[in-house]
Chain A
Amino acid sequence: MERLSYTLSAPIPAGGTKPRAIVGVVASGNLEVLLERALAPDLCTVEIATAAHGFAEIWAAVVADFVARRAAGGLRIAINDGGARPDTVALRLAQGARLIAGDAA
Chain B
Amino acid sequence: MTPAFEPEALSWYEGSARQRIAALVDPGSFREAVGPEERATSPHLALFDLPEQFDDGMIVGQAAFEGTPILVAAQEGRFMGGAVGEVHGAKLVGLLRAAKSLALDVLVLFDTGGVRLQEANAGETAIAEIMRALVEARLSGSRVVGLIGGRSGCYGGGGLIAGCCSALLVTEQGRIGVTGPEVIETNRGVEEFDARDRALVWRTMGGKHRYLIGGADRYVDDGPEAFRAAVRDVLAAPGRLDLATLDAEQARLERRLARFGAARDATDIWSALGVAEAQAVPGLSTQAFRAVALGRESAHDAR
Contact = CB atoms under 8 A, between A and B. Distances in A.
Q: Is B a genuine binding partner of A?
A: yes
Interface of A: 1, 20, 22, 25-27, 30, 32, 34, 36, 49-51, 78, 80-82
Contact of A51 (B18, B37, B50, B54): B50
A1 B54 contact: no
B11 to A, nearest CB: 15
B51 A1 contact: yes
Contact of B54 (A27, A30, A32): A32
Interface residues of B, number: 15
Nearest to B53: A26
Interface of B: 16, 18, 36-37, 39, 46, 49-54, 76, 78-79
A80 B37 contact: no
A82 to B, nearest CB: 5
A27 B78 contact: yes
A50 to B, nearest CB: 7
- Nearest 5 pairs between A and B by C-beta? A27-B78, A26-B53, A25-B78, A80-B51, A26-B51
B175 to A, nearest CB: 19
Given A26-B79, A27-B79, A80 B52 contact: yes
Contact of B51 (A34, A51, A78): A51
| Most chain A CB atoms below 10 A, which of B51, B52, B54 | B51
Contacts of A81: 51
Nearest to A49: B51
Contacts of B37: 20, 34, 36
Contacts of A49: 51-52
A30 B78 contact: yes
A26 B36 contact: no
A51 B53 contact: no
Nearest to A22: B36
Output the residue of B39, B50, B53, B78 with the most chain A CB within 10 A.
Answer: B53
A51 B79 CA distance: 14
Nearest to A53: B49
B54 A82 contact: no
A94 to B, nearest CB: 17
A25 B53 contact: yes
Contacts of A25: 16, 53, 76, 78-79
